[in-house]
Amino acid sequence: MSLSMGLGEAIRGRRSIGRVKQEPIAKEIIETLLEAAAWAPSHHATEPWRFYVMVGEGRRILAEAYADIAVEHSRGVVAEDEEAALRAKHGSKAFRAPVVIAAAVSPSNAPGVNRMEEFAAVHSAVQNMLLAAHAMGLGAIWRSGEPMYHPRMKQAFGLADAEEVVGLIYLGYPDIQQPHGKREPVAAKTVWLQG
């Protein structure tokens, strides 16, 4: 499977697809997406992205992290006998797609490298991956939120103190119709500074 869609079409047509089939995705397709991600720009050519591809029972690592975080946040709110149900509910999030890719930033500590630019590079890599997934007929959604930034999530992927998970990309073949998109006119968000 190749990237055959035009760039403009991919940019305008890509949507977050949160419901996908559990049909497996070939390793070669996943590798194509990762390769697209790796061509993102990075200041000082640091390439600070790290990807953790979870398929099959490999998603259990994410499920356990989700469950542990949910239990920690519910202490004093949920009775102990309800903990197993809470763990199952939050752990099931890891199995919403046949492939989940954790995208992390591993910032360079080289002189002149700005930590914020390292995050921007990984965000760009994720966008490349999302566009490539759409061009290849896959559904994808970039999920983030508080669990991504919890120390337990960093521990799940063996990240060092300076590293961070920036999001989870859920991938599969779409199980819903492609939603229509809309954007405000870019002119409303543009300021021209001219001499």
Q: Which residues sit in the known binding site for FMN?
A: 14-16, 43, 142-144
Nearest of 123, 101, 127 to residue 25 by alpha carbon: 101
Gap between the Cα atoms of 96 and 44, Å rounded: 36
If phi over 0 gives left and psi between -120 and 50 gives alpha, with beta otherwise, what is residue 53?
beta
- Cβ-based neighbours of 128, under 8 Å, separated by 6 or more: 36, 37, 39, 40
Sole residue written with tokens 């960093």 = 154
Q: Rounded CA gap, 117 and 74, in Å?
A: 35
Please enumerate, by residue number, every residue annotated as part of a binding site: 14-16, 43, 142-144
